[in-house]
Chains A and B, each alone.
Chain A
Amino acid sequence: MNKINTINDLGTLREKLQSYRKSFRKTLILCNGTGCQASRSQDLIGSIQTELVKQGFATDILVRATGCHGFCEQGPILVVEPDNTFYCHVTPDDAEEIVRKTVAKGELIERLLYTDPVSGKTIPRESDIPFYKAQDRQLLAQNRQVDPCNIEDYIAIGGYSALAKVLSGISQKSVIAEIKRSELRGRGGAGFPTGRKWEQCSDAPGDEKYVICNADEGDPGAYMDRSVLEGNPHLVLEGMIIGAWAVNAWQGYVYVRNEYPLAVKHIRTAIEQAREMGILGENIFGTPFSFDVEVARGGGAFVCGESTALMASLEGKVGEPHPKDVHSVVDGLWHKPTVLNNVETWANVPVIMQNGAAWFAGKGSKNSKGTKILALTGHIKNTGLVEVPMGTTLETVVFTIGGGSPGKAVRAVQTGGPSGGCLPLDKLYLPLDFDALAEAGSMVGSGGIVVMDEDTCMVDVAKYFLTFLQDESCGKCVPCRLGIDRMLELVTGIAEGNGKPEDIDLLEDLAWTVSETSLCALGKTAANPVLSTLRYFRDEYDTHIHEKKCPAGVCQALITYWVDPETCTGCGVCLKECPHSAVKGEKKQPHEIDLALCEKCGICKSSCKFDAIQVR
């Protein structure tokens, strides 16, 4: 790889790469993100390449393995350009036919096309698919255009030109002013104005400053940052370099959680390639600015997503947060001024510098500008990543884009991860807005949206999040360590049928105490799941307490499995499958479950082909 010595070199290289890309007759884009890899996309890529060689198309077809496209429910995905043909659920065995028909003759393979669930018709072109059309994919759309392990792809689509623009004569103060004008707010959860953060760090005294990318993404069910880091690491790097220039830092760190090995690999490759090309290191683009980045891995601690805990972890210590009476922009990593921003926040920086603050601020609502990537999961038809302008209603996200729930009706939508809350169906008119959701008792958080249907018990959801937080608490301060423990004790009691009416008042008092007095944001927001479920689903708690029943049929202590004698055909499958020998019955006669032996594992229910086993 040749070093880029001047900004002009970058332009020349870009042109060269663009004509190279255009020289191919067709380009096959294959999604190779972690989700699709779990469905054998690697094998598919191998098969496609083999077939191309076998059928004689190796030289005029470009194959690009990319990061996550976001339409995870339909993976593995293959797109053929320039026809824009979209194939989904592709298996390695389809490779031969794809090359023979679509690559060679442009013929479409009907069974691989996407079928719109509403119209029932197939939609051959990717850009016509409603899931994509309803989004505003400023960041995600880049994923399909680049191979994350090849910096040249990123340069070809215009990458690093924002950096070139900045280093060609935009002052540090001007960069900060531009970011401030864009009104970009942190995408990690707290939503702190990014421009203001950079300004505070820039103003802080000292020559040694740091920038950090928080890729710890601990919220379960959220994988936006992973997809951006895995699929387009250079976008994040470019943002960091611009930020470092703005605050005058010469060293940066990317802190990636341990559970994302592919993201770690890709960002490391990206850094190496950037160094080779002179985009990182001494005298970037021949200017006096020098900056380098190191990658550090997390150790499996959700609390390390908190900025002071993350910095402690970077310093090689236990990830315990400290009080933030003096902010990390003044006293951060190794007590030096530090800017810590989330992956998505950094990713927005080159886009803003390229298109201008006014363009960014033109999207979104009054206090929440730009677009946001969301991870739509749970009981939803179109599980995946979506990017929408802030201010879009949750209803649009869940129903129009997400397609609603595949089975039973939607009951609640959980946003903001363990620090957020559950909103009921009648609150889904609320917009994706930092302030609006916080007022409603939830939060935008990092962007995880979990859809829950009627078979979800809200008491169980509160219990789940409290268990998670109890496990992840660092344990230093009393309100979080003991408070979460006691909240969990109370909610578990309610879920097991031992709840008392006074428990709710105690829960609320305790939740208030934990949120007001905990040392860090983990503790401070720990009460949100409990408080929001109490606010909107109080009757469900009451049913558990007064009637000792779980209406959704989830809380193990309050449910029993039962065979409906009307539907049971006596086939005996459940009897065979039951590991605890709790099913009794004669062949062709309705079977029965012996409740004394039943361990409520659910195996019988999932084996029954006639849906004869119910939960009561």
Chain B
Amino acid sequence: MTQYVNINVDGMSIQAPKGTSVLDAALDSGICIPHLCRVPYVADIGACRLCIVENVLNGHSKITTSCTLRVKEGMVIRSNTEKIIKLRRNIAELLVAEAPNSRAVQDVAKRCGVRDVRYSFHNSNCILCGKCVRVCPGTLGVKPLTFVGRGKDRRVEAPFNLKTELCNDCGRCIDLCPMTVVPCLGAMKTGEEHLCVNCEAKMDFIEETPGLCVWCYFGEGFQCQRHDLGTRGRARA
């Protein structure tokens, strides 16, 4: 028998099985908390920090990532306070300034309210979300992919030519990589990077409709896992 707990997210009471993360619980209930490094059914690491929420305990709000926070009976979560929205926007701004050459990153930035980028653009081809490393099945559990180095030298590598013996060409890493989807107007050359305004996330009034998944009103977006479910399950007003 699955044990369920009740938590409160943005004023809405939702039920989730014990052991679920707050992020999963929210997404399953139609509350979209922006995220980037989440892979369904694979352990979350809290690396991108976009899914931050306020966990209200004894009158104090503690900011933590919803993907690593397990649900607990009576939990009170706020995912779109002014503070969270600003912080999330700043994080997304850092991401898009680092790797603008991806429709997924641009989409997330737009979705999180980034309107201008105050940093000089770098043209990285990896945002170190770790999805590829985490989802790689390898051969008999031994993966060819791993993180190497530390800090700004951190990168994903397939060292010692192990790719040839351990990779089984499942293609999951490519499917999940945010950098493999080119911006809608084409690849950006070094020196020509910019904040793309054509992303599918047309959310100019996200601030006015908090707590509800963007897709309800605006259609599909790259990040949204509910895209298919929505057309089947939602009630049309």
- Whether A and B touch (Cβ < 8 Å) is answered with yes
**A residues neighboring B (CB under 8 Å):** 301, 318, 322-323, 325-326, 470-479, 481-483, 485-486, 489, 502, 506, 509-510, 513, 516-519
* Interface assignment of B91: CB less than 8 Å from any CB of chain A: yes
* Interface assignment of B98: CB less than 8 Å from any CB of chain A: yes
A-B contact pairs, 11 of them (CB 8 A): A322-B45, A474-B150, A474-B154, A477-B48, A479-B91, A479-B94, A486-B94, A509-B90, A513-B90, A517-B49, A518-B49
A323 to B23, CA, bound (A): 15
From residue A475, how far is it (CB to closest CB) to chain B in Å?
3
A485 to B87, CA, bound (A): 17
A470 to B150, CA, bound (A): 10
> Is there contact, CB below 8 Å, between B152 and A478?
no
* Smallest CB gap from A490: residue in B: B119
Contact bitstring B119-150, A, C-beta under 8 A = 1, else 0? 11000000110100000000000000001011
A481 to B83, CA, bound (A): 21
> Is there contact, CB below 8 Å, between A519 and B152?
no
Q: Pick the contact of A325 from B47, B64, B94, B98 — CB < 8 Å?
A: B64
Q: Which residues of the other chain, A, contact B127 by a CB distance below 8 angstroms?
A: 478
* Interface assignment of B176: CB less than 8 Å from any CB of chain A: no
> Is there contact, CB below 8 Å, between A517 and B91?
yes
Which of B10-18, B65-73, B197-205, B219-227 lies on the face that meets chain A? B65-73
Q: Which residues of the other chain, B, contact A502 by a CB distance below 8 angstroms?
A: 118
Please count how many residues in chain B sit with their CB below 8 Å of the partner chain's CB atoms.
Answer: 34
* Smallest CB gap from A473: residue in B: B151
Interface class of chain A by DSSP? helix
Q: Which residues of B from 148 to 192 have beta carbons under 8 Å from A?
A: 149-154
> Is there contact, CB below 8 Å, between A481 and B128?
yes
Specify which of B69, B70, B94, B147 lies most central, judged by the most chain A CB atoms within 10 Å of its CB.
B94
> Is there contact, CB below 8 Å, between B69 and A325?
yes
A473-B152, A476-B45 given. 10 additional CB < 8 A pairs?
Answer: A325-B69, A473-B150, A476-B128, A478-B94, A478-B95, A479-B94, A482-B95, A483-B94, A485-B152, A517-B63
A601 to B83, CA, bound (A): 47
* Interface assignment of B52: CB less than 8 Å from any CB of chain A: yes
A328 to B127, CA, bound (A): 29
Known: A325-B69, A506-B118. A318 touches B147 (CB 8 A): yes
Known: A323-B65, A475-B128, A475-B149. A517 touches B87 (CB 8 A): yes
Q: Which residues of the other chain, B, contact A479 by a CB distance below 8 angstroms?
A: 49, 91, 94
Contact bitstring B78-99, A, C-beta under 8 A = 1, else 0? 0000010001001100110110
Known: A470-B151, A481-B152, A481-B154. A510 touches B47 (CB 8 A): no
> Is there contact, CB below 8 Å, between A477 and B47?
yes
> Is there contact, CB below 8 Å, between B151 and A472?
yes
* Smallest CB gap from B69: residue in A: A325
Q: Pick the contact of A301 from B64, B70, B150 — CB < 8 Å?
A: B150
From residue B235, how far is it (CB to closest CB) to chain A in Å?
35
* Smallest CB gap from B64: residue in A: A325
